[in-house]
Structure 1
């Protein structure tokens, strides 16, 4: 069993991007510029955005943070999105989710210019991804592809089971793994809450990508020996073992599943670090338009 080290791969991706940014600025061009809109003061969102800004500094990007109170109107937020769409000095931007209930996340996503949608959530970019065209791939699926590529994990012709069908992870992941590409060319099965014979299907998988959001959902009796297991889950659960009173659990029961695997991602330290690295990849692409 080999652990897939997301921190190591993430740092390699950042180093690669930093070198490219040095070449860009040395040629007299400006560094790519990422802006982030943060609504309210949700602790998780604050942390995510702070980490994204830190990553920008590390690779040499410019970054901007635009804050709004929870009471901001949908009209005001959409106006700011349009302003960033039309700002030639901003290459890409994100609107950190979740948003307050009085604001339509779909409407905000659809208002972002597809050419600046570095989260890869715009319907046009999802459509381009589905067709196998060049586009911004959403961060978590792209991060998983980077991990598979870095560890030279064979995917062509393999049976890949994706557990979960969310628009952010499961659905785009299943599309990417089935496409004629490397990593890819897999035979893909998507499992979800209505799937029958889930354990039997999982036991046939060469690669399991668990993105269901239920702590320790994947157990040893669902995994065949030698399988590759990618754990996307990051759920906070109460814990008496930590000072914070909680710890992160993945979708995989790691201690019992890991001995069966050829490769497995830990939580934390597996897929998580790759999401921000993937955002940096998309921002560089936006800056090179």
Structure 2
């Protein structure tokens, strides 16, 4: 068989359109503030993309750019200022921060109701307890792609390869909440291939180029490849995922490509979280299209 591609670009475009329409229904425009410390080139590109995407989705986007020499207290002061601003519904601190800054303390200064990245302890706790909150964007995007293929995950066997707080752990909790039977695998898992072959839904987020190969995939499985790795092959640089795509496509039932799979969903879900946060803060129902 040849797997059907899960088109993350199309799914993201649809969600961003829904977000833009939903934003117009609120009493005031949602506000998203990004804090960018230092001049890391990749971070500059990511933040520029987020700012542009916010404007297209009828969200008031702003970026607080700070020099790499900023102190812990200076960054905390900016985050606390944004936390107190009634017109800011979402705060995102672009990671990684320059060396010497304590990211955990800075992220902890973001109020849970404005934590559109879903990375603070209260947001993680709400996810564990099944309470209302804002969930991390990449796992949320992954779940949306899975459910576009299979709406009912009850009893499905899901394997998440990777246990990071950014993707692996929250994604496992979301799958569990959807009534899947979930296994978390990682670098110390014995016979990783055998574990992966049990999965009806295989999600890979380890940051290792093409680590999961065709022989590790159950025929017909849904494969979600979260990895984005830059490698050099035949003298050219290219992007590949954590799954060896060409081989995996001959075994899986559905698979996300890299690029064009999970990646586009991350910013779309960030925008979705901002509008959801804004609706809750303004005391109006969250637009149904975003639930």
TM-score of the pair, normalised by structure 1:
0.94
Q: Is the 8 A contact 2:158 2:180 kept in 1?
A: yes
Which of 15, 18, 35 aligns to 2:17? It is 15
Give the Cα–Cα distance (whole angstroms) in 2 for the partners of residues 45 and 9 of structure 1: 24
Of residues 45-54 and 122-131 in structure 1, the stretch that sits farther from structure 2 once superposed is 45-54
Deviation at 1:134?
1.1
The residue that corresponds to 1:143 in the other structure is 141
1:226-275 alpha-carbon deviations (Å, 9 max, x no partner): 11100000011124565xxx221100000001111110000000000000
Give the Cα–Cα distance (whole angstroms) in 2 for the partners of residues 22 and 112 of structure 1: 25
Give the Cα–Cα distance (whole angstroms) in 2 for the partners of residues 198 and 54 of structure 1: 41
1:207 aligned to 2:201?
A: yes
The residue that corresponds to 1:271 in the other structure is 262
- 3-state SS of 1:260 partner: coil
The residue that corresponds to 1:121 in the other structure is 119
Which of 95, 98, 118 aligns to 1:97? It is 95
Report how many residues are paired: 278
The residue that corresponds to 1:259 in the other structure is 250
- 3-state SS of 1:229 partner: strand
TM-score of the pair, normalised by structure 2:
0.93
- 3-state SS of 2:203 partner: strand
Give the Cα–Cα distance (whole angstroms) in 2 for the partners of residues 240 and 122 of structure 1: 42
Of residues 142-151 and 74-83 in structure 1, the stretch that sits farther from structure 2 once superposed is 142-151
- Consecutive unaligned residues of structure 1, counting only runs of 5 or more, are none
The residue that corresponds to 1:247 in the other structure is 238
The residue that corresponds to 1:229 in the other structure is 223
